Amino acid sequence: MSRVNYANLLTFSRFITAPVYVWALWRHSPGWALGSMGYAALADFLDGWVARNICCTSDLGEVLDAAGDVFIFLTGILAGAFFGYVSWWPVAVLLSGGAVSAWGRMLYARKVGRAANYKSRPSEFLGGAAFALLLVYAVDFYTEYHTWVLALFTWWVAVRDVREIAALPPGQEVE
């Protein structure tokens, strides 16, 4: 199957929202920031739906989807700290938890022997909350509080997921 398909194009279009979001934070334009993240959320929903119901689920699509989430979130949160919407401390704690989580997922991909993302309910919650964090940055809405809460949960989930992944026998995938 071709790597260029509607689902992957939608996923790829999400990458473009990150520079728009950064520009919006720089220019203090909440409308553009909220709009760009609104599109990112819509495309995130649609690419999965298109892949499952119309065409083309693939390992590449799955990895691209996860990479898109990480890219948008990482760019957004760093821009938030850089432009003064939040202080660096909670951001550093949050990103270090994210790094542990990413390491766990690399461990999982190695265990199952292919480029697969480890999906767990807690990490799904974090995805929704991370998206909300970029929304609260857009309007400077209790950013310090939200970032600390998400940072603590990120560490909790990272440790939990890594323990689960470590307990899996080699080759076993979790659906």
Partner 1 sequence: MEHVFAYLMRFHHVGVEPAWRTDFWLVALSYNLMAIVFYGRRLIGDIRQRKAGNDSRPVNDAITAWKMGLLMFVLGWIPLIYHAVTHVMG
Given 100, 148, 155, 159, the residue binding partner 1 (CB under 8 A): 148
Asked if 115 and 62 touch (Cβ cutoff 8 Å), the reply is: yes
* 121 contacts partner 1 (rule: CB under 8 A): yes
User: Which part of the chain contacts partner 1 (CB under 8 A), choosing from 6-14, 27-35, 52-60, 103-111?
Assistant: 27-35
What tokens does 54 get?
Answer: 């119309």
What tokens does 79 get?
Answer: 């821009």
Given 3, 28, 110, 114, the residue binding partner 1 (CB under 8 A): 28
* Residue 82 vs residues 16, 23, 24, 87, 103: alpha-carbon distances, Å: 20, 12, 13, 8, 25
Asked if 26 and 83 touch (Cβ cutoff 8 Å), the reply is: yes
* 3 contacts partner 1 (rule: CB under 8 A): no
Number of residues located near partner 1, criterion CB under 8 A: 38
In sign, the C-alpha dihedral spanning 84, 78, 44, 159 is: negative
Using CB under 8 A as the criterion, which residues of the chain lie in contact with partner 1 when the complex forms?
28, 30, 34, 83-86, 120-122, 124-125, 128-129, 132, 135-136, 138-146, 148-149, 153, 156-157, 160, 163-164, 167-168, 174-175
